[in-house]
Structure 1
Amino acid sequence: MLRTRLRDFIVTKDDWIFAVADYCHEDGIRSILRYVPDPQGTRGTGKKYRKMDFDDAFIFMRKARPEWVSDVHIVPWDSVKEILAPDKRLPQITEKNEKVKAIVKSLEKHVPLENMGVTGSLLPGLEIGSSDIDFIVYGSSWFTARDIIRREKQKKNPITEISDDMWQDIYKKRRPDISFDEFLLHEIRKGNRGMVGGTYFDLLYVRDWKDIEPCLRGTDAGNKTIEATVTNADFAFDSPAIYKIDHPEISYVLSYTHTYAGQALVGERIEARGMVEIVGNVKRLIVGTTREPKGEWIRSLTLLDGK
């Protein structure tokens, strides 16, 4: 039986390559088109591929497979030719890529190899010289890996801190609805980004299979700004990031934008603005209802007050 999870890639019978978007795949695989075959493409050493940005992917899919288009792209199971799993392909990627090997070597004493993986353009072998490294650690081992990366950055070889110019580039790419100084304050504390051999990398969280739960759908109940105390942040670096909170109306905050993953710790007071969604008898706040959300955010008031 085929199964897939967040940050896997799938290859369809048309050789289209999609990035899996979440864990909810009852009616098909929820994903985003990333690469399509193109003789004029710049990716790949044999068969050439063209990389699709988010908007172009939706334009392409509305013409080519409109029935697959929803809030993401829903790929029918019977259209899947292959699943590219980051953990399964890590050994061959490590063999070819010295920078990935350096990250693995830093982690392997304390993080099992089977709990690591690489996604992004490296996963299907379509990287170019300027490609970043999207490094995955599965489940609770992620927190161990994050602490190791923090220590390795202090040694400054081969893993180093992100340069000021790179932080500016990341901020411009994310386009969050908070100031650069506020963005940087939160990001530096997270500790899950770095440079290896001059290449930027992200340490990405993905759930263990045992932690994946049935997905819940809700109904929109309008926008709201709340203040609350975080009571649980076990999945704060997941996608969506989840923050359980102590609030008289809202049970938890979900963030679908990577910018607000890991934004607050347990016990911290947060301010969050997003869309209220009702699921059964529970209300939750959704942050990141569009790809570059405006008028939506999560900020740690505790962190900001202590700066």
Structure 2
Amino acid sequence: MKARLRDFIETWDDWIFSVVDYHNEDGVHCLLRYIASPEGERVRNGVRYKKMGFDEAYEFIRQRRPDYIKGVMVVPNDDVYRHYEPDKGLRGILDSDHPDARVKKMVKALDGVPPADMGITGSKLVGLGGETSDVDFIVYGNSWFRARDLLQKAIAEGRIDGVCGIDEPGWKKIYAKRKPELSFDEFYVHERRKGNRCLLDGVLTDLLFVRSWDQIGPKVPVGRDLGMRTITAKVTGAEFAFDSPAIYEVEHPEIRRVLSFTHTYAGQAQAGETIEARGRLEETPEGKNLVIGTSREPKGEWIKSLTLLGQ
């Protein structure tokens, strides 16, 4: 199946998964997000759906379909009933009789980005979003950087009612929820620079990067674990710093790339900056990578731009 990161699929069992990889040749690499359940708080076409937490989702699949667990969840193509694509989902929302007001505001803020390069993911893509649901907005490829600039311009000008930046108390709430291995001041400086989050009518909204089809290269290989390591290195390439995983090409005598599988450290540094990073060292056929986010809530792992911090 030709699916990519942040698409969704639905199986014949009424299970809804988010796609977590660009490479799905052997089945769809994904994570269970919703199941049909009388206990569910969300309703679509008269059917209740329950949102699944990460650990809960894996326990559910281990019990019901252990054959899906292959490191990550991998759903066979034959089990897929429907494929949800964010670009088509956004067009469907905008063309509906009652388009989502917050989605319309985001599109207006990004006026100048080609419509084909925009999409919507998350609950709104699969018809389970409510009035207060997050708006998980996607921009594909290099148009993402243009979109980020346009969003920040719209915020600075205050030209769209309800589209605004996040104040310091708001960032403190986010910091408390994420619990990163950075001080609040370090976290705040990095996050403010990224420019990929805003408030839409008071609801936290992410501007998410997804590669365009022509940017999808070979799969990043999983390496042999060599233990934890802390390094200082110069970033030589950050084209995919906002991707998942975030990729930083680095100049270092031993390590080729720093990868982050946790969203906290996406967009953390720019090319030319010096970073400090701690994570798990992996040896692959292509060289050694330092991997951050080796667990769901990584402890003792981080990336910080020493250049940005003036260190």
- Both proteins in one fold, TM over 0.5: yes
Cα displacement (A) at 1:217: 3.0
**2: CA distance, partners of 1:173 / 1:290:** 16
Q: State which of 171, 178, 181 in structure 1 corresponds to 2:182.
A: 178
User: How do residues 90-101 of structure 1 correspond to structure 2 at under 5 angstroms?
Assistant: 90-94=90-94, 95=96, 96-101=99-104
Moved more, 254-263 or 128-137: 128-137
If the length of structure 1 is used for normalisation, what is the TM-score? 0.95
Cα displacement (A) at 1:42: 1.0
Unaligned runs of 5+ in 2: none
Contact 1:36 1:50 in 2 (8 A): yes
Name the structure 2 match of 1:269: 274
User: How do residues 1-307 of structure 1 correspond to structure 2 at under 5 angstroms?
Assistant: 2-45=1-44, 46-94=46-94, 95=96, 96-108=99-111, 110-156=112-158, 157-158=160-161, 159-215=163-219, 216-305=221-310
If the length of structure 2 is used for normalisation, what is the TM-score? 0.94
Report how many aligned residue pairs link the two structures.
Answer: 304
**SS in structure 2 opposite 1:88?**
helix
Contact 1:44 1:127 in 2 (8 A): no
Moved more, 134-143 or 31-40: 31-40
- Computed over aligned residues only, the root mean square deviation of the Cα atoms, in angstroms, reads 1.4
**2: CA distance, partners of 1:97 / 1:281:** 45
**1: CA distance, partners of 2:290 / 2:93:** 38
**1: CA distance, partners of 2:250 / 2:18:** 30
Letter in 2 for 1:284: N
Unaligned runs of 5+ in 1: none
**1: CA distance, partners of 2:190 / 2:130:** 30
**1: CA distance, partners of 2:89 / 2:260:** 29
**2: CA distance, partners of 1:172 / 1:16:** 31
Letter in 2 for 1:199: V
Letter in 2 for 1:209: W
Q: Report % sequence identity.
A: 53
**2: CA distance, partners of 1:99 / 1:281:** 44
4+ residue runs of structure 1 moved beyond 6 angstroms?
Answer: none
Cα displacement (A) at 1:281: 4.5
Letter in 1 for 2:105: A
- Alpha-carbon deviations, 1:54-86, whole Å to 9, x = none? 111111111111121243211111111111000
**2: CA distance, partners of 1:66 / 1:166:** 40
